[in-house]
Amino acid sequence: MPELPEVETMRRGILAIEGATITAIEKVRCRRKPIAIKPNMSTIRRRLVGKKVQAVERIGKRVVIRMANDDRLLFEPRMTGLVLVADPPSSEHVRFRMEFSQGEQEILYWDRRGLGMIYLLNDQQYQERFSLENLGPDALEVTGPLLKKIFGKAKRPIKVALLDQKKVAGIGNLYASEILHVAAIHPAKRCDRITLKQWDLIASTTIDILQTAIAHEGSTLSDGTYRNALNDPGGYQNMHRVYDKEGQFCPICMDTTITRIVQAQRSTFFCKSCQKRS
């Protein structure tokens, strides 16, 4: 589930490791489905232990630990992964541990379903993997003209298009529904039928919603999986307008109930009155 606001919250939660030296790295024994860690642990230790952290960054839905030599260790949480500095939700799902020189710090990677990934890339590998051909611009940096350039000729429904990480990085199923509701755009409307004025509204709404969600440290849904770096829940779920609110009244028009449809095997929530298809 973690989307841009949740991953950005994870990133901010471990900023204290910037400038610290990595003193130990451990793949924690776990009886659950193993996560993908590449390359092997001996190589990761050799390249990282004793080295200083230059910066903690984010690219799309990934937390990036950048070293002084521009090697980068990436945490890709996928559905249920968390990057933590405090007690994990459960000990049996801890997968990876790193220790640092400053203040006996450590960070943990926890993953209930084991769908996440951890991988180490050198600078060339990183630049190639995340070139604009493989990952779109960050969702916090979009503009109306940029979105029109990216999607304007596509015949795909706008909701499905926004989930394409090769086009725009960071938006997932939850925030796509929220963005389109506030922008009053029907989720099934084809991209090639959206006007520049509407693209402008989608862009500004995207930035506003994502920044607000970051300020509230992301959304913790009913399954309780997502937590911030201190193992506390986010708060933006209390501000959701349509996501997972099928049958409840729209908070904008107040007289139409939220509808759920399935697009590209994902649930979409919207208001038929506020988001007309025409």
Tell me the catalytic residues: 2-3, 61, 266
Paired sense of beta strands 266-270 and 94-100, if any:
unpaired
Q: How far apart are CA 101 and CA 278, in angstroms?
A: 59
Q: Are 239 and 249 in contact (CB under 8 A)?
A: no
Residue 186, token pair as written in the block: 């029907």
Helices 144-151 and 196-215: crossing angle in degrees, nearest 10, is 110
**What are 62's strand-pairing partners?**
59
Helix (H) or strand (E) holding 30: none
Residue 44, token pair as written in the block: 């990761």
Q: How far apart are CA 271 and CA 103, in angstroms?
A: 50
∠ CA 161-256-268, rounded to 5°: 25
Q: Measured in whole angstroms, how far is the alpha carbon of residue 201 from the centre of its chain? A: 22
In the three-class reduction of DSSP (H, G, I as helix; E, B as strand; rest coil), residue 39 is classed as coil
In the three-class reduction of DSSP (H, G, I as helix; E, B as strand; rest coil), residue 22 is classed as strand
